[in-house]
Structure 1
Amino acid sequence: MHLTLETDYAMRIVFCLAKNQRRMDAASISEEMHVTLRFSLKILGKLAGAGIVNSYKGIKGGYELAHPAEEITLRQVVEAIEGRSYAISRCIVPDGECSRDRWGCCSFQKVWRDISDEVNAHMDRVNFAQLVQEDEALRQGKKQEE
């Protein structure tokens, strides 16, 4: 299973705000992250609703992170957009269904749950300050190679 395009874009939007460390309008975020303005606004609304970003109206309005980038994890963004933690299979989500009618007595459920738990734990350990640092290091390395 993979994360949705909306979640991927949400990650980019939070990354953009973390990297720029300032209030930005939706059009600037959209342009910098190559996400349509309409989709950016939808995502920013969800992120604001989840308390990840703050939104401000008016001429000096825009969006900024609600918390320091060090305190915002990948998992928080996934949950803000997807409405739940990452799950590798539909059979382990609370409202999921088992096509074989073996809920709770299938060996695959344990494996899928263990894998999903590992992915979620890893996403809990990665914050946006780390991603910005890593991005800067990668860009510096690429410049040195040229």
Structure 2
Amino acid sequence: MLLTRASEYALLSLALIGESGEPKDVDTLSKQLDISKSFLAKILQNLAKRGILISYKGAKGGFALNKRFDEISIMEVIEAAEGKSPSVFECSPARECCPSDRAGSCIIWPFLNRLQNKIDGFLENLTLKDILDT
């Protein structure tokens, strides 16, 4: 599992919020993206908890970017949306994730771990600006 709908919706929401230049409310965003309001609200709250968005309450409330596009890494968006770091395979981050009978003898774990590290580095260096400028 690398990316789920939560990550996709987080990225799309951030793009719309950033383009507007002013706070956007969950109702408006959910209609624009044609997705569940409650699911989107949870995602946006997680982005706010991580400092990617600022939440404003009240009639003119909503969510606004707390950082510029070039300061928001795709890794931090995924981690906020998913609630965990992305993993190519369950065992790629650490051998302890392997079943106990194979943890010490898995011959492909070093490869999986190197692959995971390369993907992590790529996502940490890729910014929202990078994907929106393409």
Q: TM-score, normalising length from structure 1?
A: 0.80
Q: Counterpart in 1 of 2:10?
A: 10
Is structure 2 residue 134 aligned with structure 1 residue 124?
Answer: no
SS at match of 2:108: helix
Which residue of 1 is the match for residue 77 of structure 2?
Answer: 77
Q: CA deviation at 1:104?
A: 4.3
Give the paired residue count. 134
Q: CA deviation at 1:108?
A: 1.6
- CA deviations over 1:83-131 (Å, ceiling 9, x no partner): 3322111113459632362224422211111111111111122211222
The amino acid that maps onto 2:71 is: E
Greater alpha carbon shift after TM alignment, 88-97 vs 34-43:
88-97
* Aligned mates of 1:91, 1:84 — CA distance in 2: 14
Counterpart amino acid of 2:16? C
Kindly report the root-mean-square deviation, in angstroms, between the aligned alpha carbons of the 2 structures: 2.0
Structure 2 segments unaligned to the other structure (5+ residues): none
Give the corresponding residue for 1:144.
none
Runs of at least 5 residues in structure 1 that lack an aligned partner in the other structure:
135-146
Counterpart in the other structure of 1:59: 59
**SS of 1:32's equivalent?**
helix
Indicate the SS of the match to 1:92: coil
Q: Which amino acid in structure 2 is aligned with residue 55 of structure 1?
A: S
Percent of aligned pairs sharing the same letter: 28
Match of 1:46 in 2: 46
Distance 1:96 1:64, change over 3 A: farther
Q: Which secondary structure does the structure 2 equivalent of 1:86 belong to?
A: coil
Greater share of residues in helix: 1
Matched, 1:25 2:28: no
Query: Does 97-106 or 80-89 show the bigger shift?
Result: 97-106
